[in-house]
Chain A
């Protein structure tokens, strides 16, 4: 395919996106993104939650303006939502008060069409996407899969050549998602839909490898394009093929190497305690440790295997594995996770033993918990308002990260009996 020489349909040059901290200073979410969506390709955008994937998609859609950098659509600067670009949403974003066909017709509201033309075009999109017979149904009567089909029909009816998909299958059950993916790839292969280029945002590695011609991997804090991987397998792709598995394993390895770099040298990114914590509860972490310790893993497993065995997505698995790595209970490298001696002790310990061990590791490896504990010890009455730590963290993290980090550290500290938190008074205490 001679796609390299053609002009890209969407091009992002040096795109940066900052959110404002409470102090008014900028907090970078996306940094220096250079990305092009070429003709006749499906480009995957893979990254952890909070990496800014969805923001990037919204920038490409003209829904969000980047802080700096340029966005081009067919070599013209993009200033807002534009003809020729359609979006499919993770939550479907259907109007619940409109029927299926009315929902599809909203895709044509921006065009000057007669009622008849509108109806005909909507009907043919519905036909194409496999919604025939459901025209008069309301979204609430449909299953998730059918709802997302409406989402696709609404995007396709606009005749757009660019299709931007924001985790379109992640709200669906496994079987439905698979059917929808296959149907989409079929339509795409047969060129029955007007789409000539698609961007797929996802956190599901296998999904990306299954569908995309090229995968851009986004690192976190701030989001950057860490790697671009071409996938040249022919459709239909088979998850059990060796070639397929090799690509998946490569991506796992790539992601863990980034994760390790990220976890091992936090000082370069944030000053000590302001490292964002991933959503991982103690019971989930113990569960993972216990699974790892037992057969058939006996202390070591590839991430792909254990993710499949436990039915976890990358987005569920990575926070757990990374937190265990940070706490010194497991080691994460080369796409595999290994139990450390401390992890083994944790698995075999009783409740008291586990708590003691967790408390030691928490104080040693999570500077934030040590910091809160120290402040509480110094204070008279051993109480300190939540706002105090919030504002400290907000100098380095986004609001959402602060919220999550405090929630996570509170959960860990409660388990370890390091300190407590009174939600009514919004105070930490010993």
Chain B
């Protein structure tokens, strides 16, 4: 809002004075009100559905009627939102603890690094049996397991991003808040959360996009011989596969597409546009993300009036001091600087680590043979080969395409949302279509199932490259043109180095996506036909299905190790290199 606008608004306020009439509500009020009420009703009915089957020991059969789809989609979406709420709570506590306490940081950050590398669907092998036994005779167990799966796909990188924001709070604002003697609570809400907001919102929204894949996958899963069917789009598709109903698969794809579009327009864009106000650069921003929904809400007088008490409440809460008594503060200060406390803490950590290691080794010796490790490693090598080849192929296709699109601003504006939509779209809904074709054409599954892994992940490369090419400085482009640099040299010296940091970011995400997807894409079904491509994903899926937990754990450990190794040995050095080279100062 600029100065002029503020002024005009205040002026209008004065004119209407104390006599405030409803007739001032324009179409914007109406539209905004409908949106709010609609959202409330949808959330209410979704939540009701979720809790309702609690009593039912046996879940309702999944109906393949397209008419049932809207409700299924709603329930899938609800799971997403519950998970995002849990991820936010986790982010605020875990990351804050890590950023504030040196000792907690020693444990929490490396732990986060590992948690992030564990395949999301790998968690299901353990959480499903655990939660089912915790809530027997109810849907709550599988429901929580699905939510937990989505949570694991979001929470780690949200927490990591928030932690990094907390560590990079500008020094002058930090000093200002200290010299104004803000309490820790005030500082958190006044300084730290607002500062982290743009990154947090962006991270949350990106994680949520990735989450669709996992919610669909976790709605229909077999663990230890037990088939889990949670009413939702994922279960609907699973049912369609069982009955080889290609039309139903098509309906599911349409329903999901609509859900993601609505989510993009109603949640993603408004939030990103809203979070712009927390952007730290105090210079005016030229290119702001726009959202018609946000504009509608901000311009609707009625809603603004309704939101005022809420905003005031939030502000009061942020202002409350809630400071620790001085004694606690002093004690904390003394402890945090103490050397002997450090020694005790590190000793404790080593002790716990040693104990866990001994327990694990003992467990593994009983349950596993060296042959198992060899099998897992061999499968891992096969999947690794697939990931590398697929990312290379996706790179060869999407880097030139992305550059071509990114350099044409008008085209980029049209293509970028599509690429983002495709990245969010759960590719596993498309699997049946591909599998149907493989079965029909009698193709070799070991080769033709592989592309499924990259089906959803490739778009990350595309839209990051588009972003990179769009951000390429115009003066450099002009200089290049006037120097008449063309052909291979143009690629090698100008464009590829220019987009490299963006490409690396996209490729890291694509790689992670491919590893995760391998668990559901290396074994697929079409009716009674089951296709297996071999590899580590198939291994983990098989062990999970039969309930062979030691081997499932082994597979997951091997996959995590491969992901970590790839990040450390390939992506991180590349990223550091790209960052350094692209810097001008």
Task: Give me the interface of A with B, judged by CB distance under 8 Å.
Answer: 58, 61-63, 81-83, 85-87, 89-98, 106-107, 109-110, 112, 115, 134, 136-141, 147, 154, 158, 424
Q: Which stretch, B179-187, B426-434, B531-539, touches the partner chain A?
A: B179-187
Complex Cα–Cα for A109 and B319 (A): 7
Complex Cα–Cα for A112 and B281 (A): 32
Check A110–B2 contact: CB distance below 8 A.
Answer: no
Residue B277, interface by CB 8 Å: yes
Check B178–A81 contact: CB distance below 8 A.
Answer: yes
Interface of B is mostly: helix
Task: Check A81/B179 contact, CB under 8 A, given A95-B173, A109-B190, A141-B2.
Answer: yes
24 contacts between A and B (CB under 8 A): A58-B175, A61-B179, A62-B179, A81-B179, A83-B181, A85-B179, A87-B176, A87-B179, A92-B172, A93-B176, A95-B194, A97-B277, A97-B278, A106-B177, A106-B180, A109-B182, A109-B319, A110-B182, A110-B183, A110-B321, A115-B316, A137-B3, A139-B282, A141-B2
The 4 closest A-B pairs by CB, nearest first: A93-B176, A93-B172, A110-B181, A140-B282
Which residues of A are found within 8 Å of B282, using beta-carbon distances?
A: 94, 96, 139-140, 147
Which residues of A are found within 8 Å of B281, using beta-carbon distances?
A: 96, 140
Residue B283, interface by CB 8 Å: yes
Residue B280, interface by CB 8 Å: yes
Contact with A along B201-214 (1 / 0, CB 8 A): 00000000000000
Check A89–B172 contact: CB distance below 8 A.
Answer: yes
Which residues of A are found within 8 Å of B3, using beta-carbon distances?
A: 134, 137, 141
Residue B191, interface by CB 8 Å: yes
Most chain A beta carbons < 10 A, residue from B10, B175, B183, B283:
B175
Check A93–B175 contact: CB distance below 8 A.
Answer: yes
Check B181–A93 contact: CB distance below 8 A.
Answer: no
Which residues of B are found within 8 Å of A158, using beta-carbon distances?
A: 180
Residue B24, interface by CB 8 Å: no
Interface of A is mostly: loop
Nearest A residue to B181, CB-CB: A110
Which residues of B are found within 8 Å of A86, using beta-carbon distances?
A: 179
How near does chain B come to A408, taking the closest CB pair, in angstroms?
A: 15
How near does chain B come to A19, taking the closest CB pair, in angstroms?
A: 15
Nearest A residue to B318, CB-CB: A109
Check B6–A93 contact: CB distance below 8 A.
Answer: no
Contact with A along B145-181 (1 / 0, CB 8 A): 0000000000000000000000000101101111111
Nearest B residue to A61, CB-CB: B179
Of A63, A112, A115, A138, the contact of B179 (CB 8 Å cutoff): A63
Complex Cα–Cα for A117 and B2 (A): 28
Check B278–A140 contact: CB distance below 8 A.
Answer: no
Complex Cα–Cα for A141 and B2 (A): 7
Complex Cα–Cα for A109 and B186 (A): 8
Besides the contacts A96-B281, A110-B181, what 6 more A-B pairs have beta carbons closer than 8 Å?
A: A95-B173, A95-B190, A109-B186, A140-B283, A140-B284, A147-B282
Which residues of A are found within 8 Å of B295, using beta-carbon distances?
A: none
The A-B contact count (CB < 8 A) is: 82
Which residues of A are found within 8 Å of B175, using beta-carbon distances?
A: 58, 63, 87, 89, 93
Residue B279, interface by CB 8 Å: yes
Which residues of A are found within 8 Å of B10, using beta-carbon distances?
A: 136
Task: Give me the interface of B with A, judged by CB distance under 8 Å.
Answer: 1-3, 6, 10, 170, 172-173, 175-183, 186, 190-191, 194, 197, 277-284, 316, 319, 321, 580-581
Complex Cα–Cα for A83 and B170 (A): 23
Complex Cα–Cα for A138 and B277 (A): 9
Nearest A residue to B312, CB-CB: A115
Most chain A beta carbons < 10 A, residue from B170, B178, B280, B284:
B178
Nearest B residue to A86, CB-CB: B179
Nearest B residue to A118, CB-CB: B319
Check A97–B178 contact: CB distance below 8 A.
Answer: no
Complex Cα–Cα for A109 and B177 (A): 10
Complex Cα–Cα for A353 and B113 (A): 58
Complex Cα–Cα for A212 and B179 (A): 24
Task: Check A109/B284 contact, CB under 8 A, given A95-B190, A97-B278.
Answer: no
Nearest B residue to A139, CB-CB: B282
Check A91–B181 contact: CB distance below 8 A.
Answer: no
Which residues of B are found within 8 Å of A95, using beta-carbon distances?
A: 173, 190-191, 194
Which residues of A are found within 8 Å of B181, using beta-carbon distances?
A: 81-83, 110
Which residues of B are found within 8 Å of A137, using beta-carbon distances?
A: 3, 6
Check A106–B279 contact: CB distance below 8 A.
Answer: no
Check B279–A96 contact: CB distance below 8 A.
Answer: yes
Nearest B residue to A135, CB-CB: B6
How near does chain A come to B361, taking the closest CB pair, in angstroms?
A: 38
How near does chain B come to A308, taking the closest CB pair, in angstroms?
A: 30
Which residues of A are found within 8 Å of B179, using beta-carbon distances?
A: 61-63, 81, 85-87
Check B180–A107 contact: CB distance below 8 A.
Answer: yes
Of A61, A63, A106, A112, the contact of B190 (CB 8 Å cutoff): A106
Check A97–B180 contact: CB distance below 8 A.
Answer: no
Complex Cα–Cα for A154 and B3 (A): 21
Check A89–B176 contact: CB distance below 8 A.
Answer: yes
Complex Cα–Cα for A73 and B170 (A): 27
How near does chain B come to A143, taking the closest CB pair, in angstroms?
A: 11
Complex Cα–Cα for A94 and B180 (A): 12
Nearest B residue to A164, CB-CB: B179
Check B278–A96 contact: CB distance below 8 A.
Answer: yes
Complex Cα–Cα for A58 and B174 (A): 12
Complex Cα–Cα for A115 and B320 (A): 11
Complex Cα–Cα for A134 and B2 (A): 11
Complex Cα–Cα for A87 and B177 (A): 10
Check B182–A106 contact: CB distance below 8 A.
Answer: yes
Nearest B residue to A90, CB-CB: B172
How near does chain A come to B255, taking the closest CB pair, in angstroms?
A: 38
Complex Cα–Cα for A92 and B172 (A): 8
How near does chain A come to B396, taking the closest CB pair, in angstroms?
A: 27
Complex Cα–Cα for A154 and B1 (A): 23
Complex Cα–Cα for A63 and B282 (A): 25
Most chain B beta carbons < 10 A, residue from A62, A98, A110, A139:
A110
Check B180–A96 contact: CB distance below 8 A.
Answer: no
Most chain B beta carbons < 10 A, residue from A93, A112, A136:
A93
Complex Cα–Cα for A146 and B1 (A): 18
Which residues of A are found within 8 Å of B278, using beta-carbon distances?
A: 96-97
Which residues of A are found within 8 Å of B1, using beta-carbon distances?
A: 138
Complex Cα–Cα for A98 and B282 (A): 11
Which residues of A are found within 8 Å of B172, using beta-carbon distances?
A: 89-93
Most chain A beta carbons < 10 A, residue from B1, B180, B186, B280:
B180
Which residues of B are found within 8 Å of A58, using beta-carbon distances?
A: 175
Check B280–A96 contact: CB distance below 8 A.
Answer: yes
Task: Check A109/B279 contact, CB under 8 A, given A93-B173, A136-B6, A136-B10.
Answer: no
Nearest A residue to B6, CB-CB: A136
Nearest B residue to A113, CB-CB: B319
Which residues of A are found within 8 Å of B178, using beta-carbon distances?
A: 63, 81
How near does chain A come to B162, taking the closest CB pair, in angstroms?
A: 16
Which residues of B are found within 8 Å of A83, using beta-carbon distances?
A: 181
Which residues of A are found within 8 Å of B321, using beta-carbon distances?
A: 109-110, 112
Nearest B residue to A103, CB-CB: B176
Complex Cα–Cα for A137 and B183 (A): 26
How near does chain B come to A171, taking the closest CB pair, in angstroms?
A: 11
Complex Cα–Cα for A93 and B182 (A): 14
Complex Cα–Cα for A158 and B180 (A): 8
Nearest A residue to B9, CB-CB: A136
Complex Cα–Cα for A93 and B171 (A): 9
Nearest B residue to A106, CB-CB: B180
Which residues of B are found within 8 Å of A115, using beta-carbon distances?
A: 316
Nearest A residue to B275, CB-CB: A97
Complex Cα–Cα for A54 and B22 (A): 57
Nearest A residue to B173, CB-CB: A93
Complex Cα–Cα for A424 and B172 (A): 32
Which residues of A are found within 8 Å of B6, using beta-carbon distances?
A: 136-137
Complex Cα–Cα for A65 and B176 (A): 16
Complex Cα–Cα for A94 and B176 (A): 8
Check A109–B176 contact: CB distance below 8 A.
Answer: no
Which residues of A are found within 8 Å of B316, using beta-carbon distances?
A: 115
Nearest A residue to B284, CB-CB: A140
